[in-house]
Structure 1
């Protein structure tokens, strides 16, 4: 995978890697990042996806929307993802989210940067992470979406606005909600901070994983109601439709 980092950054990372060698989170071998180059090539596989919802299409033409998005257009306009939420990469998402393995976040951001660089679509004007509820943020001590958004914003040369989106109420984890209850679970859960003017702007919403898409669709609806012109999801992993 092409390394798009600036040369000084690559030199610094090489020096740090020599002085502070690390182990790959997947195979345990020597690595310059959280995941070694061999594992990255083996498991971070590009596949044709719907440009709107990022579900695999199984077709060579990834510019066409899938049938589901044509039948019912989501509130968001596009989705960039790095990989499917499947073994062994799903374990990395869980390590970041619940195991405080924060070193995984910059690696995920770099992989996402590579995916974005391969797309001719316009970059967002600003990135914002999906916010955690206050209770969950206190319990976890960090927001994994923000941990990915910060290095990604630096790599893309974009501002990041951690407070742009507000979590208006705590919700039950979507993973534990029945498929028919997930939309209801997040309805009215998000708002846009009144100090941010999103009118006419392209907003990039960053998260670690996208499953049913209801959370991101609710966020997109809130942003569009506030005047956003375009909403693009930027997520590391996408749960396959059958999961």
Structure 2
């Protein structure tokens, strides 16, 4: 039995003349399966830290954490806050294998990134999905970050290297851990394949949600030590600071 979706065979008929919104089930008025009203109601990020994308009251600011200790990655590019109904869509994609939800979010993310490139965001040399440990990927049946990267790669015309980055430790799930525990949890959790060639490259990591940034920091530090010139992070959503 094949538990991995075949990227050459779409899990949703995107060529239908009439699309239905995956959120409200009404006929969509766009080429994607989402209507204009539901797309507008998504929790768009708004003001945020210009480095880690933490939601802030206005644009052009840098959060206190990034001022105190600049991260190893240069910039996080993300369209949404992790809030309803986006959190439900990501959960259904990630934990219930609802790939049409992920495909829709990947398409919208590609539009966001293309607009960011047009506005001056530096284009990376390649995409790297954040890997899952082998055991967790077998349990889930797929790696949501790799699927997102597979959908982004042809849309953005960027090469994808799905096997350069590996997760060597099956650490506990990060969702319920605080920032300090997440950092300890990820020590030596990632490694690079012998075939990877990062010297002088601008690399973009692809993941679903950025919470504390511990995973992005751990991977970016590894990539910079291996010679990467710049590391950016592309993801679907950024969580707000606890209590906000």
* TM-score when normalising by structure 1: 0.87
Confirm or deny that 1:98 pairs with 2:95.
Answer: yes
Aligned counterpart, 1:134: 134
Q: Which moved more, 1:164-173 or 1:175-184?
A: 175-184
Aligned counterpart, 1:52: 51
Gaps of 5+ in 2: 1-12
Greater fraction of residues in helix: 1
**Displacement of 1:46:** 4.3
CA contact (8 A) 2:131 2:167 kept: yes
Encode CA deviations 1:181-207: one digit per residue, 9 max, x unaligned: 111011110011110100110110000
Encode CA deviations 1:17-46: one digit per residue, 9 max, x unaligned: 22xx55433222223534333211121524
**Displacement of 1:241:** 0.9
**Displacement of 1:48:** 2.1
CA contact (8 A) 2:45 2:81 kept: no
CA contact (8 A) 2:44 2:80 kept: yes
DSSP 3-state at the match of 2:194: coil
CA contact (8 A) 2:93 2:102 kept: yes
DSSP 3-state at the match of 2:80: strand
Within 5 Å, give how 1:16-35 maps onto structure 2: 16-18=15-17, 21-31=18-28, 32-35=31-34
Of 56, 63, 67, the match for 1:66: 63
Give distance in 1, aligned partners of 2:48 and 2:240.
11
Aligned counterpart, 1:122: 122
DSSP 3-state at the match of 2:233: strand
Within 5 Å, give how 1:152-171 maps onto structure 2: 152-171=152-171
Gaps of 5+ in 1: 1-11
Confirm or deny that 1:197 pairs with 2:197.
Answer: yes
Q: Count residues in correspondence.
A: 226
Aligned counterpart, 1:242: 242
CA contact (8 A) 2:200 2:229 kept: yes
Aligned counterpart, 2:35: 36
Encode CA deviations 1:71-97: one digit per residue, 9 max, x unaligned: 110111100011000111100110110
